Structure 1
Amino acid sequence: MESKARLPILLFEEKIAETVDNNPVVVIIGETGSGKSTQLSQILHRKGYTRSGCIAVTQPRRVAAVSVSRYLTDGVLLRESLSDPELKQYSVIVLDEAHERSLNTDILLGLMKRLITLRPLNLKVLITSATLDGEKVSRFFSNCPILNIPGKLFPVEIEHSSKMPKSYIEDSLSTAIGIHVREPAGDVLIFMTGQDDIEKMVAKLEERIQTLEEGSCMDAMVLPLHGSLPPELQVRVFSPPPLNCRRFIVATNIAETSLTVDGVVYVIDAGFVKQRQYNPLTGMYSLDVVQISKVQATQRAGRAGRTHPGKCYRLYTSAVYNDFLDVTIPEIQRSSLAGTVLYLKSLDLPDIDILKFDFLDSPSAESLEDALRQLYLIDAINEDGSITSLGRTMAELPLEPSLSRTLIEANEYGCLAQALTVAAMLSAETSLFLSQSKTVGKKRKQTLSHLPDGSGWGDHIQLLQIYELWDQTDYDINWCKDNNLQVRGMMFIKDVRVQLSDIMHKIAKGNLDVRSSNRRIEGQDYRALRKALCSGYANQLAERMMRHNGYRTLGFNSQLAQVHPGSVLKSDEDGKLPNYIVYHELIATSRPFMRNVCVVESHWVGPILAKLDKLDIIKLSGGIKKASHEIPLVEDSNQPKDCSGIAQLADDRDAKIAAARERFLARQAHR
């Protein structure tokens, strides 16, 4: 194991201490291998900063936080700030891996800028990264100093492909086998876009390795690495391999910079990443496989030079690399901001204006207005934009606002136990059903027929029923296997449900009444739970079109969407779909699809439509609103940069909302 004394950052210990002593904010660009993530907090401790408070070190990803076990995730620090906005227990706050520009990290950057004016004498803020645009961050923090710490990186030979791959999985596979057969010892890091691709690659690679002639090459082990793995499986990649054994680590982009796996000599980079994008004008998500940025390509290559001279196989041409974006688009410019705006509102600080909040990269005006609208419809803020008591309670739950609202409403209706289950089930990061490749198709169809079907009410009810059946087996993992359910996912859900239940009980000491309820809902209409879901998903309401086998979403930009083909929602005996449903998310694939839908009753919809009719974004913002052209917008190469069409969109929205209201009243009159 390499000696800490050899880490480059320790050569700069006195310079770091002096700069921190004399400045409230310092940007530290620590190249790969410099030791910044492990040694910086210890340097600060040795210089006495723990005498007046704790040192908080945040990581944007859970996997990275596991690898340095005493660190916080950035989300945890945000939650702490709800009860203590000035974070008085900390003398130093280190935002590590800030280059990832996660949504939470960007919020923290804005809050730190404000906080250092409130605590100028007893708080130090350090922003660290391997690839961050230090000049940009320095300007954001009034030209604070930048320290550059060299890394200890061995040379990495980069080899570009002569042509683009037809299948990046197959090309990655053949490249990996070629390395194993021909190259000297050293672990191989293979970048994939997501869990599904990782599982396919792991299975294919293990199969190919087993077909190699015995004795023709060293032993090998294949390890997956992604955010959905439980901690005990994540930490395996940090243990050295057995003697004369090569490791193949198949990972998502969490292995770019968030953590370092020693022993990697070869990197296979297909040049893609899976990126989730949100369109505030349609309320629609898309999960797209997109090209990485040049910064990401550099980081991936650098993984090969940590302990030895390495080699990076880029499965794309040098011309394609030249077309990559220089940096990755920040998450805050491609996410729904409802949770972000709720958090900022809950701080209840008079000097924070949502539409003027100082972000390093401002989100679009449409994104902020969309968030205000969502929060208004679920009663988190009132007509004047002030946070409500419900909104304050919602902010205490580590959930998206729609699910937080559902839990609070479910408590009032006496079905909190069931709503906790649904919220936990929806928190799973991937599908709970094993993929087709994991099982024989005929067997899958036969097995799935034994699972509940939601009693005709939709996917939320099916998720509840599945969990209840598992509960009756005392959480037997063999039951999950027999029903083609992911064991890891179900165990994760069980843990999340316990955590949510604990939080709700703590909240109950304040303004909630957590009522006891039986595990199973009496009767089969699930009325109370569906009504709670209607309140939580007020922004995600869809009305059936009379002449179409689809729905119109009642949102800012109403459009025709269909229920996802994987939904258990069924038409009635006359072939008709329910008049109204709510959905968990609207996604763009081949066309707009609503995922995880639930039937709601028509008379629950009236108050929501009435609120839509009264919606006034200017009032929701607190009456303070910049002109659209003054607010930096996300650049979209497919759209003109002229913002004059926004007013027309608003007019169209109002007309469509009024039309929806008239249709509802007409149906009510004919009942």
Structure 2
Amino acid sequence: MPCYSAIFQGYLRTTMSLRTTCLQLNNNPKTFLKPSFFSFHSRTQSLGSFRRLHLRHDLVTCSRPGTAAASSRSLALDWRNTALPYLQLQQISNYGRYAYQDVSSDDSDHEFGSPQPQMVILPFGLQRDVDLHLKAYLSHKDMSRGSFSDKPWSRSCAGGRIAADEVPIEHQEFFTQNSDVMERILRRRSLQLRNKQQEWQESPEGQKMVEFRRSLPAYKERDALLNAIQQNQVVVVSGETGCGKTTQIPQYILESEIEAARGASCSIICTQPRRISAMAVSERVAAEKGEKLGESVGYKVRLEGMKGRDTRLLFCTTGILLRRLLVDRDLRGVSHVIVDEIHERGMNEDFLLIVLKDLLPRRPELRLILMSATLNAELFSSYFGGAPTIHIPGFTYPVRAHFLENILEMTGHRLTPYNQIDDYGEEKMWKMQKQAQSLKKRKSRLTSAVEDVLEIADFRGYSLRTRESLSFWNPDSIGFNLIEHVLCHMVKKERPGAVLVFMTGWDDINSLKDQLQVHPLLGDPSKVLLLACHGSMPSSEQRLIFEKPEVGVRKIVLATNMAETSITINDVVFVVDCGKAKETSYDALNNTPCLLPSWISKAAARQRRGRAGRVQSGECYHLYPKCVYDTFADYQLPELLRTPLQSLCLQIKSLELGGITEFLSRALQPPELLSVQNAVEYLKIIGALDENENLTVLGRNLSMLPVEPKLGKMLVLGAIFNCLDPIMTVVAGLSVRDPFLMPYDKKDLAESAKAQFSGQEYSDHIALVRAYEGWKEAEREQSGFEYCWKNFLSAQTLKAIDSLRKQFFYLLKDSGLVDQNIENRNKWSHDDNLIRAVICAGLFPGICSVVNKEKSIALKTMEDGQVLLYSNSVNAGVAKIPYPWLVFNEKVKVNAVFLRDSTCVSDSMLLLFGGNISRGGLDGHLKMLGGYLEFFMKPAFADTYLSLKRELEELIQKKLLNPASDMESSNELLSVVRLLISEDQCEGRFVFGRQVPASSKNTTIVKTPAIGGVDNSKSQLQTVLARAGHGAPIYKTKQLKNNQFQSTVILNGLDFMGQPCSSKKLAEKDAAAQALLWLRGEDHSSSREIDHASLLLKKSKKSRRTSVSDTKWSIKWS
């Protein structure tokens, strides 16, 4: 072992040499290296005990008298010059390393965007072991190459199949060469169906049911409907709530086919947007036909289904029909397709309409019926070439609407700034103070949307008390206390009848339910039956909401917007409408979904109000003023225009429907081009599409799995790397609701219970795996309920996870990736590091940097900068995270950007299981995501990572092309990978790339994104400013007289005006482009090229406000 003193002397000699080099490179300001200190410390690894010498050098910046000290960020300008001697210095000894420590004039903490990189550090001796194993593997591979290199690998025949259990409809086919025999069999079955139908209709119970059905408004249009369906391939039906279209029209078609002796050859699919709708409607229709569910009427939803050999009418979710199309593009044997609730404009429904529109010319005998609950049928009719429309007027009793001003006047309730704070399980006093302060600081989009109309609203006809309350009304609040007061008023003073309360989401429902259950009146089960209604609730609980309560008991149902049209609760007389719905919107510019409450549409408000008039005249309490209702949009924005499109784009390629952009351009309302580009770029990053947008073998496998592409990739890799069981648990857990409960009165205990499952793994996903495994063990001992109660877990969610795991296993087994051998598929399930790496592979590019500060942890992503963790994450409550990276399942923009479900990973995990890596400009420099992520290390380390990455990708490709291939020959490679990811010291650091893509001066059209799907001037400008430590730019846009728009962007006190453009969005992008040109010194306002970006980078935070505000730059283009 070398002498430490000799090593230290070598370091000093090299330090002086490096200082001289730096002085020559940087004369003004002068930058040199000063020896700061050196220290020894010990580390014990599995490879043995060793000593490491750390010698740090502090960068000190000197400036001339009279000038302010330059910011530490100016070091970015000198990095390329000083990096080479730095990297050469790194190789002096295996026991030491140099790292730059920048010292700014104000001694500020290191920020995420600090330009200097930190080396990727591996323990001494690890590289030698890895290289030896890798060399042995490659030698063995070369020797055996001849045994399989000549075999033409082909796509697995299972690539286009799915598990039999997932095929939504199994139309009975009789494989016989004698068509006469076939006809006789079908005729005999058809006669049997007709006789059975006649017997039911002539029976006493059947006659009562027939009379009831004839009383529905849909019956009056029965003959017209059947004639239209017979004469036209597409028919659009609109009908008001309660007209009977959902339950009756499918029956009319089936009954007419059975009466015509075509029942055996008839096959009707009726899609519903939600599983609860498919299940409830199928049960009702079967009862109206006097049958058990599963005979001629059945249903199929994910995880559940009930159908038989004679099922001729099947209710299913839209996703089930899309999966059927994967294996049967022509829907052979299907005679009628009914798409219900098309007015909701779900993404699957809009996608299905495009597919069916293309299918109709190939299947002229197929009939398509579109059903909408609103009067916008003309939109769908014109999309299908002027298809005939039929309107069914519904009969509803009159409903009296009470808006907020009337409610306050009638009940005497008083609003204050503090009694509108909604409690979500946190300390109430702290919550009230925080929300009250936030109201003064910023305005939400809910408030911004209505503040103008509230200012001019005339409430002079109401009492002073009511006007004062209205002045305090908070549009952001759901109004838990107001809802409680209104419900008390109903229970005490109103006539009997069920109450339906529309909330924004499951969290709000649970929180309100908890609050009402402790109320002395509303929590009394002898007077109130309090129920919740949500799409993910179990079937047994769903049935309770349709049953009538005991006499003297008021039924109150808390529901989401699914109760607007998807289900009908017959005994509802009172409706409480909060006026909001929590929906996902999509910020294509930042590639971030935003989950925010938003105002509903007028159509939705009318639907909610109509629910109160089903059985008698009703009352609807709208918890917002009438003037706010008048500002609502007529209809909701289609989901296709406000959600990420990755899964949809993958389905387009798997169905071989052509180019993604061209296909989506044929949608009823095509999505934004940038959203499509983001989705395509994401699929390329994860390897589902190649550079030419062709479906890869991985993409083919992902398209067959009923989960998001990232979760599907996790499943596939879990199968390949023999750690399937924990990965199936993770994917199932991310596909359903979080099983960890957070009761408002026991939140601390619940968080502690979850933290115990994670231990020191810093992973929400591993905590989920351990919680599930503990539950399975408790179930075997018949103590599952006690286990869930003790650990704050949802038994229902854990059962759903268990069912999903079984479904995933059969899908993977059908594809050939796994077999029945439990030992093989779980060979490495005990290796938490490998599980962590597979999670990283699935969730990438959802990557976040971790920077441990003295008193806090800074988390930042490329697109968003500073982000936060959801409070229920195991990583949210730790003081320090000993990993440089964090992968996450989802980021959601509420007020800030929050990360959900995170796992910490090391450099090696990210390099080997993340995105593609390439060499940088220097030896030992690796890049990922086009340079947004950079890694610096010894050149030999870089070669090792590149070689291992290449071999891993080849191994995965080989297994996917030939699932039956033996993995035993790759055990040595997997051992190398496991060794490397387990021994990584986790000392890397997130580094932004320094190259900003050039843009044309005259181009403002969005091009195909090069990095992460966000390649446009606005995002580039924001990224440049973020790297320089500045805030986001401000855009001011005005409309010109010629109906064009002109925008000015303000950054750091500088104004840049763009050219007039046809839209506000293009105008802002053009202004940003002008700012970028100036920053790069490419604008023609300057006689010489000046790198203004470097000047901006050098400005310290303290001097920025004063030095820049004195001078305004305005660049205008003629």
Deviation of 1:353 after TM superposition, in Å, equals 5.1
SS at 1:157's partner residue? strand
Q: CA RMSD in A?
A: 3.3
The superposition leaves residues 206-230 of structure 1 with CA deviations (integer Å, 9 ceiling, x where unpaired) of: 443647999xxx9431111112210
Q: How does 1:222-237 map to 2 (within 5 A)?
A: 222-237=530-545
TM-aligned CA distance change 1:425 to 1:533, over 3 Å: same
The reply to whether residue 588 of structure 1 matches residue 893 of structure 2 is yes
Aligned match for 1:180, one of 482, 491, 511: 491
1:157 matched to 2:381? The reply is no
The counterpart of 1:58, out of the listed 264, 267, 271, is 271
In the aligned structure 2, how far is the partner of 1:473 from the partner of 1:207?
Answer: 31
Aligned to 2:253: 44
Q: CA deviation at 1:276?
A: 1.9
Contact 2:869 2:876 in 1 (8 A): no
CA contact (8 A) 2:722 2:825 kept: no
Could you list the per-position Cα deviations for residues 591-639 of structure 1 after superposition, in whole angstroms to 9, with x for gaps in the alignment?
2232212233324434534473399997899xxxxx99xxxxxxx9999
TM-score (norm 1): 0.86
Q: Structure 2 stretches of 5 or more lacking a match?
A: 1-208, 283-297, 299-314, 406-469, 919-927, 933-996, 998-1005, 1011-1015, 1018-1034, 1038-1046, 1048-1062, 1080-1118
1:150-193: per-residue Cα shift (whole Å, max 9, x none)?
A: 11211111111214466522111211121111111111111111
Gap change, CA 1:558 and 1:312, over 3 Å in 2: closer
* In structure 2, distance between residues paired with 1:203 and 1:572: 29
Larger displacement relative to structure 2 (349-358 or 323-332): 349-358
Is contact 2:722–2:828 with CA below 8 Å preserved after alignment?
no
> How far apart, CA to CA, are the structure 2 residues paired with 1:6 and 1:399?
43
Aligned residue number for residue 598 of structure 1: 903
Shift in alpha-carbon separation, 1:512–1:349, aligned structure 2, 3 A: farther
Give the one of 126, 130, 136 matched to 2:379. 136
SS in 2 for 1:474: helix
In the TM superposition, residue 538 of structure 1 has moved relative to its aligned partner by 2.3
What is the rounded CA distance, in whole Å, between the counterparts of 1:454 and 1:588 in structure 2?
Answer: 29
| SS of the residue 1:411 aligns to | helix
Cα displacement string for residues 72-102 of structure 1 (whole angstroms, at most 9, x for unaligned residues): 0111111111111121231111001111111
Instruction: Work out which of the residue numbers 650, 659, 668 in structure 2 matches 1:342.
Output: 650
Counterparts of 1:441-520 in structure 2 under 5 Å?
441=747, 443-444=749-750, 447-448=753-754, 451-474=756-779, 476-508=784-816, 516-517=822-823
> After the TM superposition, which of the residue ranges 596-605 and 304-313 deviates more from structure 2?
596-605
Amino acid at match of 2:618: G
Q: Counterparts of 1:86-485 in structure 2 under 5 Å?
A: 86-119=330-363, 121-131=364-374, 133-162=376-405, 163=470, 164=473, 168-208=479-519, 210=521, 219-350=527-658, 354=662, 356-429=664-737, 431-437=738-744, 439-441=745-747, 443-444=749-750, 447-448=753-754, 451-474=756-779, 476-485=784-793
How many angstroms apart in 1 are the aligned matches of 2:544 and 2:651?
A: 36
* Residue range with higher mean Cα deviation, 458-467 or 236-245: 236-245
Offset of 1:38 from its aligned partner?
0.5
Partner of 1:613: 930
Cα deviations by residue, 1:270-293 (Å, 9 ceiling, x for unpaired)? 211111223233232322122111
Structure 1 residue 127 displacement after superposition: 0.7
Post-superposition shift, 1:132? 5.1
1:530 and 2:847 are equivalent in the alignment: no
Deviations 1:390-436 (A, max 9, x none): 1111111111110000110111110111110101111223x333233
**Residues 377 and 38 of structure 1, relative CA distance in 2, 3 Å threshold:** same
Sort the Cα spacing of 1:182 and 1:457 in 2 relative to 1 into closer, same or farther, 3 A: closer
Q: In structure 2, how many angstroms separate the alpha carbons of the residues matched to 1:145 and 1:78?
A: 25
> Rg: which structure is higher?
2
Q: Compute the displacement of 1:444 (Å).
A: 3.9
1:590–1:319 distance in 2 versus 1, CA, 3 Å = closer
Could you report, residue by residue, the CA deviation over 1:18-45 in whole angstroms, capped at 9, with x for unpaired residues? 1111211111001111110101111111
Structure 1 residues 350-387: Cα deviation after superposition (integer angstroms, max 9, x where no partner): 47655644111211111111111111111111111100
Once the two structures are overlaid, the 10-residue window that deviates more, 370-379 or 559-568, is 559-568
**Contact 1:284 1:587 survives alignment (8 Å):** yes
Among candidates 10, 17, 35, match of residue 244 of structure 2: 35
- The alignment-based identity, stated in percent, is 30
Q: What's the secondary structure of 2:496's corresponding residue? A: coil
Please tell me the residue identity of whatever aligns with 2:246: S
Amino acid at match of 2:574: Y
**Contact 2:235–2:387, Cα closer than 8 Å, also in 1:** yes
Contact kept in structure 1, 2:502 and 2:578, CA below 8 Å? yes
Cα 1:149/1:349, change in 2 over 3 Å = same
Q: Aligned partners of 1:321, 1:353: CA distance in 2, in Å? A: 37
Counting only pairs closer than 5 Å after superposition, residues 623-662 of structure 1 correspond to structure 2 as 641-643=1064-1066
Q: Can you list the C-alpha shifts for 1:110-155, whole angstroms capped at 9, x where unaligned?
A: 1111111221x21111110111511111111111111001112111
AA at the equivalent of 2:741: L
CA distance in 1, matches of 2:866, 2:749: 35
- C-alpha distance in structure 1 between counterparts of 2:677 and 2:721, whole Å: 31
Q: Is the 8 A contact 1:434 1:484 kept in 2?
A: yes
The one-letter code sitting in structure 1 at the alignment partner of 2:838 is A
**CA-CA distance at 1:64 after TM superposition:** 0.9
- The superposition leaves residues 314-336 of structure 1 with CA deviations (integer Å, 9 ceiling, x where unpaired) of 11111010011111111111111
For 1:291 and 1:353, locate their aligned partners in 2 and report how far apart those are by CA, in whole Å. Answer: 31
Q: Is residue 470–residue 480 contact of structure 1 (8 Å, CA) maintained in 2?
A: yes
Inter-CA distance 524–91: structure 2 relative to 1 (3 Å threshold)? closer
Alignment partners' CA distance in 1, 2:835 and 2:735: 17
Q: Distance in 2 between matches of 1:96 and 1:572?
A: 48
What residue is the counterpart of 1:23 in the other structure? 232
Please tell me whether the aligned partners of residues 110 and 357 of structure 1 are also in contact (alpha carbons under 8 angstroms). Answer: no
Matching residue's letter, 1:27? V
Provide the secondary structure at the position in 1 that maps to 2:269.
Answer: strand
Could you say if the C-alpha distance between residues 608 and 562 of structure 1 is closer, same or farther in structure 2, counting changes exceeding 3 Å?
farther
Question: Do the aligned residues in 2 keep the contact of 1:221 with 1:247 (CA within 8 Å)?
Answer: yes
Distance 2:524 2:798 in 1: 39
- Equivalent residues of 2:723, 2:828 under 8 A apart: no
Contact 1:456 1:568 in 2 (8 A): no
SS class of match (1:238):
coil
State the secondary structure of the residue aligned to 2:792. coil
CA contact (8 A) 2:869 2:899 kept: yes
Q: SS in structure 1 opposite 2:875?
A: coil
d(CA) in 2 for partners of 1:461 and 1:389?
Answer: 29
8 A Cα contact 2:852 2:881, kept in partner: no
* Partner residue, 1:666: none
Structure 1: distance between partners of 2:877 and 2:825:
28
Aligned length: 629
Alpha-carbon contact 2:722-2:829 (below 8 Å) kept: no
Contact preservation (8 Å) 1:416, 1:514: no
Q: Look up the match of 2:124.
A: none
Q: Write the deviation string for residues 546-578 of structure 1: whole angstroms up to 9, x where unpaired.
A: 889434434xx46343444433238999x5642
Q: What's 1:76 paired with?
A: 320
CA drift of 1:517 comes to: 4.0
Residues 637, 34 of structure 1: alpha-carbon distance in 2 compared, 3 angstrom cutoff: farther
